[in-house]
A and B are shown apart, each in its own frame.
Chain A
Amino acid sequence: MKIRHFTQYKLFALLAVIATVLAACITPAQPGAQSAPTTGPILIGVSGPLTGTMAQYGAQWKKGFDLALEEINGAGGINGRKLEYTFEDSQSDPKQSVVIAQKFVADPNIVVELGDFSSSASMAASQIYQRGGLVQFGFTNSHPDFTKAGGDYTWSNSVTQLQASPALADFAITTLGLKKLAVFQINNDWGKATNDLFTPRVKELGGEIVANESYLADEKDFRSALTTVSDAKPDGIILISYQADGALIAQQAQEAGIKAMLVGSASLQSPDFTSLGGKAVEGTMILGEFMPSDPRPEVQALVEKFKTKYNEEPDLFAALAYDTINLIAAAIKEGGATRQGIHDALPKLKDVPSVIYGKVTFDPTTRRVQNPRFENLIVKDGQFVPWDGTKPAQ
């Protein structure tokens, strides 16, 4: 028994050594790096949440994609080829997003990848895309390190907090004339980074933060925190929140009898915020990126088409998805329907029409949009409308 045991042990050890040598030295036959086909549809790979806790965002993406593709393909596609996408469900879980990344990289039909949604899922896959020479275009990735940590194949048209947070402070203090602010901050990477850039700018402008409440993404009960906030007597409440939690805070603030002006970041700008928030979100001021009631013709065109197709207004995520498909189409037209072509074309794009920004040009070093534009909005009768400059009665 003793001897047998020892032999087994040695066998295992031997196996381990063999395998180590294998791993270090030998490269098994790889499927040859095939180039993208030159006929048939041009394929975009999407990695994002279709099931699980973040499924609602993936559902919005799909709507934006489908609408944009309908138009592009209806107009004859790109050089006579149809543009299509394949959506792989990652649940925004890094375990699954890396698997999808390998799948996409190995599939020569895919010329560009979009997504993922959360930072943990997106950034876990970045290196796989970078090595595979496939552009990862993260259109909702506001993590400031997203494009930095990836490499020259990691791009994004999402606004980072570096751009949006100081603008929010300017809006609250300078434009709206608020002095004492209470901040609600969702405690994820986006919320934290936003708040970290927001607070110093407020102080610079002479404002004061009288309460700061951070909460986890799945928080539903803000009554306790609101009690604290109410005691600090702020004249403005800053919502660094997403639409659902933002609406809850507004509602519970109203129930608690708090009268301070609500000011929020662009993330609130979703029909869900007004439908969930109802009367409580009336008069909320938002430093927005995209607004369905924006009179700009490109926005109205999208809203009309979106309403006809889905019987609802597009939210920011759907608009970003729509914009992104058009951006990618422009890149393909510029550089050709290959991975390298898209990679080379993105820094050269100039003033590509965009629903959200008007026109998009990338900064080739940060691989982000240059000079994104913001929109001053107010919630009026359950709608986001451009703010006309008159301060709502408090």
Chain B
Amino acid sequence: MPHFLRTFFDQTINGLVIGNIYALTAVGLALIFGVGNLINFAHGSVYMIGAYVGWVCVTQLHMPLVATFGVVAVICGLLGMGIERIGLRRLQNSARIAPLLATIGISFVLDQLVQIIFSPNPQSFPNPLPTTRLQIGGVSIGMTDLLIAAIGIGIGIILFLFLRYTKIGWALRATAQDRDAAQQMGVDVNRVNQAAFALAAILGGIAGMLIGLYFNTVYPTMSFQAGLKGFAANLLGGLGNIPGSIIGGLVLGLVESYGVALFGATYRNLFAFVILIAVLVIRPNGLFSRKRQAPPEPLTGTFIANNKPITLPVWGVIALAVIALLLPFFVGDPYFLQILTNAWLLGMVALSVTLVTGTAGQTSLGQAGFLAIGAYASALLTLRLHWPFELALLAAGLITAILGTLLVLPAFRLRAHYVAIATLGIGEIVNQVILNWNGLTNGVMGLTNLPPPTFLGVVAVLPHQIYWYSLILLLLGALFQWQLLRSPLGRTWRAIREDDIAAQAYGINLNRYKALAFAASAFIAGISGAFTGHMYTYINHETFTNTTSILVLTMVILGGMGNMLGAVVGAVALTVLPELFRGMADYRYLFYGLALIMMIRYRPQGLLGSI
């Protein structure tokens, strides 16, 4: 066999095996999305727990592989039912976004629990299968590869039969098609939800265990990437589309494998997300959605809960601002001031997210990309071109507005959850470009010796100085945004959020207004990122990661979608909480997750309510 052909086959097998794992994860997400219209952020954690249960069974209890799969399925199934009970059932009739936040909280709790019980160290998972490889015409296939393939195909067939020929399978499909109609026909949708979650968790857990076997390691933080890839595979095939998810997973696996072969492993995620966005641009509802299917439900908009937001009169807001401004005179503790400085800077980002997500209805999970663009723009302007800080800060805002809007441009065709993952992908792409464009960004070494923030020649380095500087930037950003929102522009954005088809029918150019929303949002986020970079004096590709994007979206949901004051309150709450829990050491983020779950349980519309 010619050499390149053998390489090609090897890469294909690698891709298909990984793709199988992605597919298993994606099918679970599709099931849950189908019946609950919910993106389950805890799915990656279930996958990780499946891997750990498998590890305990094989290495500690010395159980045979078949029995291990049974135990993994039972424990993960129960876990899935538990997640449904806590994360979804009680929040069903509240804002659509509330269960999403609950699952983020659950994932924190699960990840931390595993880390506390099994230590954060990776554990070795020796593969009990023989290491012999089958040689088929020059191509070699390992036993694990075969096992994964067999399980993937087996589960696919079982799932098909289950959905097609069992009563609960029918109920599941009916609920996915039309929840209310199914309920009227006597389907117990709660039981259906529970079944979907259990089934999804079983698939996720088995996928986790397989990956543990495949890579011979399990570790607590394997959950995040798994969730992300499953989500991407699901979107590739079409949200909630089960056969689509399987194909999506395989395609993603293959694309990554070929991409790595051609360009190196550093480009793995870049490749995955570029392909994802390209596919979505051409087929906004995924590869395998029927052309005429109803447009996906918006993530916000019509689903924003009908509630009365807590509003403060203008003098109240001003009073709060004055209190915040005077605070350093009463509390001089630099630790306290630094926490609030972080809260103000993240508050700006939360404002920028609530603008696109809450007001204009375009869920953004890519805000870290804007932060990074702002920080690098300002850093390069001051370091290479010796611009003064003030000018560089403003320029960073403008550059981020322009670059950010251009980057998000391809996502304008998308709606609801597709926007969320597209922006997440854009954030990831920005990160990868920073990492790989050595000439401009100094690559992995990052940029050192950024000049500290100055204002009219006064260097702001002391805690109270950066406190005031960041607070003023936040207030100015808020004022800017508030002016936009009360103008006709704000009404137009809300109209797009509520019903984009109606808005279009009224002659609103959707793309133009979405571009304006993202430009304004990126402007504010870019300034916050630039200021943060100069405050740190050192930035690299790890300074702003996609966990920051998720954190900021959490802040916005917690405060109340579209609610500007809520965004700031959410930012303060989620910056202060982990600090309050400092005394709990390793248990810190466990309590953080529990606090998130409790807050969303009692205020599903957000602390201050959505507007």
Query: At the interface, yes or no: B126 with Cβ under 8 Å from chain A?
Result: yes
Kindly state whether residue A354 has any CB partner on chain B within 8 Å: no
A192 pairs with B444, CB closer than 8 A: yes
Interface flag for B308 (CB, 8 Å) = no
Which residue of the partner chain, among B264, B449, B471, contacts A225 with CB atoms under 8 Å? B264
Q: A106 to B333: give the CA distance in the assembly, Å.
A: 7
Q: Which residues in A have their C-beta under 8 angstroms from that of B140?
A: 257
Partner of B582, one of A19, A89, A94, A95: A89
Chain A residues within an 8 Å CB radius of B334? 102-103, 105-106
Are A149's CB and B472's CB within 8 A?
A: no
Q: Tell whether B357 is near chain A: CB-to-CB under 8 Å.
A: no
Any chain B CB within 8 A of the CB of A394?
Answer: no
Given A50-B586, A215-B264 in contact, is the A227-B536 Cβ separation under 8 Å? no
Distance of A115 Cα from B8 Cα, bound (Å): 45
CB pair B121–A187 under 8 Å, yes or no, is: no
Tell me the bound Cα distance from A228 to B264 in angstroms: 9
A308 at the interface (CB under 8 A from B): no
Query: Looking at the complex, which of B214-222, B231-239, B516-524 is the stretch in contact with chain A?
Result: B214-222
In the assembled complex, B187 has its CB within 8 A of some CB on chain A: no
Q: Which among A89, A124, A143 is the interface contact of B536 at CB below 8 angstroms?
A: A124
Separation of A351 and B211 alpha carbons in the complex (Å): 48
Contact yes or no, A224 B318, CB < 8 A: no
Instruction: Annotate A216-231 by CB proximity to B: 1 below 8 A, 0 otherwise.
Output: 1011111111011001
| Assembled-state Cα–Cα distance A222/B586 (Å) | 32
Complex interface: chain B residues within 8 A of A118 (CB)? 542
| With known contacts A87-B585, A102-B463, A214–B121 Cβ distance under 8 A | no
Closest chain A residue to B131 by CB distance? A255
Contact assessment for B476 and A16 in the assembled complex, using a CB-CB cutoff below 8 Å: yes
Interface 0/1 of A80-96, CB less than 8 Å to B: 00000001110000111
Residues of A within 8 A of B258 (CB): 224
Contacts of A58 in B (CB 8 A): 120
Which residues of B have CB within 8 Å of A255?
A: 131, 133, 142
Q: Max chain B CB contacts within 10 Å: which of A30, A87, A88, A224?
A: A224
Say yes or no: B265 contacts A224, CB within 8 Å: yes
Q: With the chains together, A143 CA to B15 CA distance in Å? A: 35
Please encode chain B, from 263 to 275, with 1 for each CB lying within 8 Å of some chain A CB and 0 for all others.
0111011000000
Q: Interface code B444-485, partner A: CB below 8 Å = 1, 0 otherwise?
A: 111011001001101011111100110110011001000100
Given A15-B475, A119-B538, A278-B126, A223:B10 Cβ within 8 A: yes
Q: Smallest Cβ distance from B556 to chain A, in angstroms?
A: 17
- CB interface residues, A 258-272, toward B, < 8 Å: 272
**Most chain B CB within a 10 A radius of its CB, from A99, A148, A192, A272:** A99
Q: A244 with B264: in contact, given A8-B314, A51-B588, A189-B444 (CB under 8 Å)?
A: no
| Contacting residues, chain A, for B217 (C-beta < 8 A) | 220, 244, 247-248, 276
Does A15 lie within 8 Å of B14, measured CB to CB? Answer: no
Q: How far is the CA of A214 from the CA of B346 in the complex (A)?
A: 33
| CB of A18 closer than 8 Å to a CB of B | yes
Query: Which of the segments B77-85, B321-329, B557-565 contacts the partner chain?
Result: B321-329
Q: Is the CB of B325 within 8 A of A15?
A: yes
Q: Report the bound CA distance from A257 to B138 in whole Å.
A: 12
A contact residues, range: 35 or more
The answer, yes or no, to whether B25 is at the interface (CB within 8 Å) is no
- Whether, in the assembled complex, B115 has its beta carbon less than 8 Å from a beta carbon of chain A, the answer is yes
Q: Contacts A99-B579, A149-B449 hold; do A216 and B443 have CB atoms under 8 A apart?
A: no
B51 to chain A, nearest CB (A): 12
Q: Is the CB of B121 within 8 A of A272?
A: yes
Interface digits, A327-354 against B, CB 8 Å rule (1 contact, 0 not)?
0000000000000000000000000000
Interface size on B, residues (CB 8 A): 93
Which B residues touch A248, using CB under 8 A?
A: 215-217
Q: Considering only CB atoms, which chain B residue lies closest to A123 in the complex? A: B538
A192, B216: Cβ atoms closer than 8 Å? no
A30 close to B10 (CB less than 8 A): no
Partner of B456, one of A5, A12, A24, A27: A24
Q: Residue of B at shortest CB range from A59?
A: B120
Q: Which residues of A contact B461 (CB under 8 A)?
A: 127, 131
Is B337 positioned at the interface, with any CB of A under 8 Å from its CB? yes
Please measure, in the bound complex, the distance between the C-alpha atom of A228 and the C-alpha atom of B337, giving whole angstroms: 52
Q: Which residues of chain A are within 8 angstroms of B329 by Cβ–Cβ distance? A: 28-29
- Residues of B contacting A102 in the complex (Cβ-Cβ under 8 angstroms): 334-335, 337-338, 463
B325 touching A189, Cβ below 8 Å: no
Q: Is A55 interfacial (CB-CB < 8 Å)?
A: yes
- B536 CB, min distance to chain A CBs, angstroms: 4
B339 on the A face (CB < 8 A): yes
> Shortest distance in angstroms between A369's beta carbon and chain B's nearest beta carbon?
21
Name which residue of chain B comes closest to A275, CB basis. Answer: B124
With both chains docked as a complex, state the minimum distance between the C-beta of B372 and any C-beta of chain A, in angstroms.
Answer: 12
In the bound complex, do residue B445 and residue A23 qualify as a contact, i.e. CB atoms below 8 Å apart? no
Residues of A near B225 (CB, < 8 A) are 218
Q: How far is the CA of A207 from the CA of B112 in the complex (A)?
A: 47
- B260 proximal to A (CB < 8 A): yes
Q: Say whether A31 faces chain B, with CB atoms less than 8 Å apart.
A: yes
Closest Cβ neighbor of B589 among chain A residues: A51
Instruction: Please encode chain A, from 31 to 53, with 1 for each CB lying within 8 Å of some chain B CB and 0 for all others.
Output: 10000000000000000001111
Asked whether A20 is an interface residue with its Cβ less than 8 Å from the other chain, the reply is yes
* Minimum CB–CB distance for A361 against chain B, Å: 26
A223 and B329 alpha carbons, distance in the complex (Å): 60
Q: CB of A294 within 8 A of chain B?
A: no
Q: Are A119 and B221 in contact (CB under 8 A)?
A: no
A306 CB to closest chain B CB (Å) equals 15
- Rounded to whole angstroms, the CA-CA distance of A223 and B254 in the bound complex is 13
Task: Please pick, from A30, A231, A247, the residue contacting B3 in the complex, using a CB distance under 8 A.
Answer: A231
Instruction: Report how far A18 CA is from B131 CA in the complex, Å.
Output: 72
Contact A88–B337 (Cβ < 8 Å): no
Instruction: Determine if B318 and A27 form an interchain contact, defined as CB atoms under 8 angstroms apart.
Output: no
A219 near B449: Cβ-Cβ < 8 Å: no
A28, A50, A53, A99: the one within 8 Å of B585 (CB): A50
| Interface presence of A301 (CB below 8 A) | no
Report if B257 contacts A (CB, 8 A): yes
With contact pairs A223-B10, A272-B122 given, residues A127 and B468 touching in the complex (Cβ less than 8 Å): no
Inter-subunit contact A94/B445 (CB<8 Å): no
Q: How far is the CA of A19 from the CA of B479 in the complex (A)?
A: 15
The distance from the CB of A277 to the nearest CB of chain B, in whole angstroms, is: 9
With CB as the reference atom, state the residue of chain A lying closest to B345.
A95
Taken together as a complex, chains A and B put the C-alpha atoms of A118 and B329 apart, in Å, by 34
By beta carbon, the residue of chain B nearest A5 is B486
A51 to B586, CA, bound (A): 6
B265 touches A214 (CB 8 A): yes
- Given A56-B121, A227-B261: A192 touches B443 (CB 8 Å cut-off): yes
Contact of B193 with A by CB under 8 A: no
* Interface, chain A (partner B; CB < 8 A): 5, 8-9, 11-12, 15-16, 18-20, 22-24, 27-31, 50-53, 55-56, 58-59, 87-89, 94-96, 98-99, 101-103, 105-106, 118-120, 123-124, 126-127, 131, 143, 145, 148-149, 187-189, 191-193, 213-216, 218-225, 227-228, 231, 244, 247-248, 251, 255, 257, 272, 275-276, 278
Query: What 8 pairs across the A-B complex have the smallest Cβ distances?
Result: A55-B120, A215-B265, A124-B536, A23-B468, A123-B538, A103-B335, A102-B338, A224-B260
- Show 8 residue pairs from A and B whose CB-CB distance is below 8 angstroms, ordered by the A residue: A94-B543, A120-B446, A216-B266, A220-B217, A223-B10, A231-B7, A248-B216, A276-B122
Chain B residues in the interface with A (C-beta under 8 A): 3, 7, 10-11, 14-15, 18, 112, 115, 119-122, 124, 126, 131, 133, 140, 142, 211, 215-217, 219-221, 225, 257-258, 260-261, 264-266, 268-269, 314, 318, 321-322, 325, 328-329, 332-335, 337-339, 342, 346, 435, 443-446, 448-449, 452, 455-456, 458, 460-465, 468-469, 471-472, 475-476, 479, 483, 486, 535-540, 542-543, 578-579, 582, 585-586, 588-589
